[in-house]
Structure 1
Amino acid sequence: MQAYEFINNMIPPLKFTDKVKMALSWMEEIRTNVLPVVDQGRFKGLINDDLIYKINNSQLLIKNVELESDTCFVYRDKHIYDVLRVASEHHTNMVAVIDREGIYHGVVTLEDAIAAFADSLSILSQGGVIILSMFMTDYSLFEIARIIESENTKILSSFITNDPLDDSKIKLTLKLDKTELRHIKATLERFGYKVIDHYQEEVEVSGEQDRIGNLLRFLDI
């Protein structure tokens, strides 16, 4: 799940010697609103269509454009999670991938990163999702897994986020290998855990948009 495994080779980098009109032409061709800029093999930043329209000079060279997001990159050996984090920080749908020497290797799109992350969280596996709210001091995945396994159920993946309703607590989202969650919910509550939501995953999923939709529902509940 390292970043270099998900580089999108269909997205070419612009050079300093390219003109702004070439950037727009490529964006239209590959249906994106942002492209990476590389000079002498090193990532220099991103250029987006909003910036180009503000410039309003199609003959201007890329080297004369004040590029954005020159830190919008991850090292090639970083986990795909870091791609999502950097994309979120820079509010962009594309993240550059470089090596430890600073050499540019390509970009990972947000769509590809989300799809890969969804796979790592077992989003496509049949089962159900249950969400708990607790203090961090009460969190023990070993203990929670023991309780859930007592109901002949396995945890496929887990994800921790801050509880938006209480800053002092966390939300623990669990993907389970069973779709029937009533007994599991009752057992967890009997042991003092607060179940704030649960739902059954769809059995059949098709297409990238479905995969992304499932992930977003999984994270946002």
Structure 2
Amino acid sequence: MLASSIAISNFPLLHFEDKVSFALQCMEDYDIQHLPLVKEEYFVGLVNKEDILNLDTDQTLIHLADQLTRVGILGSMHFTAALNLFSKNELSLLPVLNEQQECTGVILQKNLNDLLAKFLGVDNPGAIIVVSVSPYQYSLAELSRLVETNNAQISQLNTNFDEATGALIITIKLNKEEADVIIATLQRYNYQILHYFGNTIMHNDIEDHYHHLMNYLDV
């Protein structure tokens, strides 16, 4: 999914001739801390609310030329690239630019969070298994085979490195809640299970045995 496909067009843009009062009102109306400033539709930089709060409200934005933050994302980039820019620059909004550096829209942080949740399928049911392996052992084909041989599928997979150990941490989301057999299979193939979230057949069996015992004692 490209950044351009999630950009909000027709969003207020600031110009050098706009007054501080106008910029502050726009930020208040949209509950944001930043707004793009453009010159003839070409992106110049981001106006930060903190930089103009104490200025004369009748002053124009031309005085901010040297204080603007020049951060934006090309519309041709994958939307996940925006996450890094939001995090590094503590932004509430990110301008989306075309190849000519024209501002074609914006991405709001709050909208990106919702989109990321959908992208990761957090609302979809399914167990989550977090495993650790050597980076040299990692094989997506093998993982898929081990899961699928147990009548399940991988619906989402993410990886990151543990800087302390050098191990590869793999987070696997399945299309089913019960994963005892899959966990056992992964362990047989030397995958270290770090965390597991979901229902377990073992837990259900324990509950069944407990209820049977209680019924027997009642008799």
Q: Give the TM-score range, shorter chain.
A: 0.7 to 0.9
1:78 equivalent in alignment to 2:81: no
> Residue 43 of structure 2 aligns to a residue in which SS?
strand
Amino acid at match of 2:180: R
Aligned to 1:113: 112
Instruction: Tell me, in whole angstroms, the C-alpha distance in 2 between the residues paired with 1:160 and 1:169.
Output: 10
1:174 equivalent in alignment to 2:172: yes
Query: Displacement, 1:119?
Result: 2.2
> Residue 181 of structure 2 aligns to a residue in which SS?
helix
Query: Displacement, 1:68?
Result: 3.5
Amino acid at match of 2:124: S
Instruction: Tell me, in whole angstroms, the C-alpha distance in 1 between the residues paired with 2:98 and 2:38.
Output: 14
Equivalent pairs, count? 198
Amino acid at match of 1:170: L
Query: Displacement, 1:45?
Result: 1.4
Instruction: Tell me, in whole angstroms, the C-alpha distance in 2 between the residues paired with 1:11 and 1:163.
Output: 40
Aligned to 1:96: 95
Query: Displacement, 1:74?
Result: 1.2
Aligned CA-pair RMSD:
1.8
1:137-176, Cα deviation, whole Å (9 max, x unpaired): 1111111111111111100121112225x25122111111
Task: State the percentage of identical aligned residues.
Answer: 26
Aligned to 2:186: 188
Instruction: Tell me, in whole angstroms, the C-alpha distance in 2 between the residues paired with 1:87 and 1:167.
Output: 28
Q: Is the 8 A contact 1:160 1:170 kept in 2?
A: yes
Instruction: Tell me, in whole angstroms, the C-alpha distance in 1 between the residues paired with 2:48 and 2:60.
Output: 14
Unaligned ranges ≥5, structure 1: 202-221
1:58-101, Cα deviation, whole Å (9 max, x unpaired): 2221121133330x211112111111122122221211111111
Q: Is the 8 A contact 1:80 1:116 kept in 2?
A: no
Aligned to 1:124: 123
Aligned to 2:211: none
> Residue 180 of structure 1 aligns to a residue in which SS?
coil
Query: Displacement, 1:122?
Result: 2.4
Amino acid at match of 1:11: F
Structure 1 residue runs of 4+, over 6 Å off? none
197, 200, 215: which is aligned to 1:199? 197
Instruction: Tell me, in whole angstroms, the C-alpha distance in 2 between the residues paired with 1:92 and 1:135.
Output: 36
Q: Is the 8 A contact 1:11 1:30 kept in 2?
A: no
Q: Is the 8 A contact 1:69 1:90 kept in 2?
A: no
Instruction: Tell me, in whole angstroms, the C-alpha distance in 2 between the residues paired with 1:47 and 1:200.
Output: 45
TM-score (norm 2): 0.83
